[in-house]
């Protein structure tokens, strides 16, 4: 797939804090790229530089063929941004905010009317459309912020923690709407520190830490890249013999086996979905009855821990 954004050597310093540190990254046309990292990793700063809201200290990026330094006006025409903090000093109503945004982005009166209604309805905000924004809850404000971009349908949508503060039912609905936006041809950059959200939505995930890009790939590849990341716990009716343990160790995907209890084996392996049936076959053939089996795949949490040496919680704490 061709790339729509090429970031090269992008750097932003605030005084002596290096918020984004020589970042190189490409975003493919039509994908959802998850930008994952703990607080202060530099996600928002990267986004604001791409959107030409703040100027890079060093390096640059091209967006849709336009350089963000040389052609900022062309670049801005391609973007729509859901900000981390909803932007609404308006002292007005959700309907006004979304409608004004659509107007500035050049939607025709008729299309605007229809789309604003459609989107506010699907975000459960239609009945609140005439409320003063100060009377809205945090989650409702975030919904209004999202509505702007969903109405706009920009070529590239940037969503900064789109579901922070939104309830569980709302989260799934928003995710579906973002997927639909991609399916209709938009490219999405999703900044988040929620691993589950990144996993659920992203076609590829870029992990950032302290302003640097650690790794970027599909969630599946990232998870598979952790050697022995999958864990299978098998409980047997009888104690496991040394012979059967040896037998299981012969599978090339199995990295390690721990005999937790005489009758419980914990296997660290790769490609759990392919290996487990083979293991079961072997056990059945050898006449070793199994009481229960428990599998877990690595999460992006493990991926994050693998690349940073920290769990995301630890990283949050150690960041400034």
Partner 1 sequence: MVVERDIRLFFQYKFLIILRAIWFVSQIVLFGLIASRMINVREVPDYFRYYVSGLSIMTLYSAAIFIGFDIYEEAEHGVFEYLLSLPVSRRQLVLGRSIGGGLRSFIYVGPLIAASLFVIGAVNPLNFLVALFALFLFSFGVSGMSITIAVMIKSSDRFDILMGVLDALIVRLSTAMYPLAVVQAANPLYGGVANFNPVSYAADLFRWGTGIESTYFTLANPLLPLLGIIAFFAIFTFVGVTIYDRRIEGGGWQ
Ligand X SMILES: Nc1ncnc2c1ncn2[C@@H]1O[C@H](COP(=O)(O)OP(=O)(O)OP(=O)(O)O)[C@@H](O)[C@H]1O
| Residue ranges of E strands in 198-238 | 204-209, 212-217, 230-236
By C-alpha distance, which of 176, 142, 189 is closest to 44? 189
Choices 37-45, 121-129, 172-180, 284-292; region in contact with ligand X by CB under 6 A: 37-45
- Work out which of 3, 6, 24, 53 binds partner 1, going by CB under 8 A: 53
- Work out which of 9, 58, 70, 103 binds partner 1, going by CB under 8 A: 103
Q: Is 192 in the site for Mg ion (CB under 5 A)?
A: no
Burial of 96 (0-12, 13-18, 19+ CB in 10 A): middle
Q: Is 11 in the site for partner 1 (CB under 8 A)?
A: no
Which DSSP letter does residue 161 get? S
CB 147 within 8 A of CB 96: no
By C-alpha distance, which of 215, 184, 73 is closest to 63? 73
Q: Is 17 in the site for ligand X (CB under 6 A)?
A: yes
Phi-psi domain of 207 (left: phi exceeds 0; alpha: psi -120 through 50; beta: other) = beta
Residue 89 or 242: the one with the smaller Cβ distance to partner 1 is 89
CB 142 within 8 A of CB 162: yes
Choices 13-21, 135-143, 236-244, 263-271; region in contact with ligand X by CB under 6 A: 13-21
Q: Is 152 in the site for ligand X (CB under 6 A)?
A: no
* Residue 42 near which of Mg ion, partner 1, ligand X, none (CB within 5-8 Å, type-dependent): ligand X
- Work out which of 8, 39, 104, 290 binds partner 1, going by CB under 8 A: 104
Beginning with the edge strand found earlier in the chain, give each strand of the sheet holding 264-269 in spatial order: 254-261, 264-269, 230-236, 290-296
Q: Is 52 in the site for Mg ion (CB under 5 A)?
A: no
Q: Is 40 in the site for ligand X (CB under 6 A)?
A: yes
> Which of helix, strand or coil describes residue 242?
helix
Which DSSP letter does residue 241 get? P
Choices 3-11, 52-60, 136-144, 161-169; region in contact with partner 1 by CB under 8 A: 52-60
Residue 45 or 308: the one with the smaller Cβ distance to partner 1 is 45
Rounded Cα distance between 41 and 47, Å, is 12
- For partner 1 (CB under 8 A), the number of binding residues is 27
By C-alpha distance, which of 312, 35, 5, 24 is closest to 201? 35
- For ligand X (CB under 6 A), the number of binding residues is 14
- Work out which of 11, 45, 99, 308 binds ligand X, going by CB under 6 A: 45
Q: Is 87 in the site for partner 1 (CB under 8 A)?
A: yes
Contacting residues toward Mg ion, per CB under 5 A: 43-44, 84
Contacting residues toward ligand X, per CB under 6 A: 14, 17, 19, 37, 39-45, 84, 193, 320
Contacting residues toward partner 1, per CB under 8 A: 12, 14, 48, 51-55, 73, 76-77, 79, 81, 83, 85, 87-92, 100-101, 103-106
């Amino acid at each position: 797939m061709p790339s729509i954004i090429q970031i090269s050597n992008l750097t932003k310093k605030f005084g002596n804090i290096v918020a984004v540190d020589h970042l190189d990254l490409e975003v493919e046309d039509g994908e959802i790229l998850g930008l994952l990292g703990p607080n202060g990793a530099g996600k928002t700063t990267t986004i604001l530089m791409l959107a030409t809201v703040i100027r890079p200290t060093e390096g640059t990026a091209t967006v849709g063929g336009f350089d963000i330094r040389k052609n900022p006006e062309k670049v801005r025409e391609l973007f729509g941004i859901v900000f981390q903090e909803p932007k609404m000093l308006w002292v007005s109503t959700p309907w006004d905010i979304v409608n004004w945004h659509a107007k500035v982005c050049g939607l025709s009166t008729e299309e605007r009317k229809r789309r604003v209604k459609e989107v506010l309805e699907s975000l459960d905000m239609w009945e609140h459309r005439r409320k003063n924004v100060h009377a809205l809850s945090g989650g409702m404000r975030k919904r209004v912020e999202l509505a702007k971009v969903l109405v706009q349908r920009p070529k590239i949508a940037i969503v900064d923690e789109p579901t922070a503060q939104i309830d569980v039912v709302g989260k799934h609905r928003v995710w579906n709407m973002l997927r639909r936006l991609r399916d209709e041809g938009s490219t999405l950059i999703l900044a988040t520190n929620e691993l589950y959200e990144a996993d659920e939505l992203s076609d590829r995930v870029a992990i950032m830490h302290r302003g640097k890009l650690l790794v970027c790939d599909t969630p599946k590849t990232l998870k598979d890249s952790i050697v022995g990341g999958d864990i299978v716990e098998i409980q047997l009716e009888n104690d496991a013999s040394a012979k059967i343990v040896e037998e299981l160790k012969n599978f090339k995907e199995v990295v390690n086996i721990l005999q937790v209890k005489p009758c419980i084996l914990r296997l660290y392996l790769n490609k759990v979905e392919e290996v487990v049936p083979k293991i079961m076959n072997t056990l059945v053939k050898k006449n070793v009855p199994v009481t229960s089996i428990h599998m877990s795949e690595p999460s992006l949490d493990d991926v994050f821990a693998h690349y940073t040496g920290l769990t995301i919680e630890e990283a949050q704490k150690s960041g400034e």
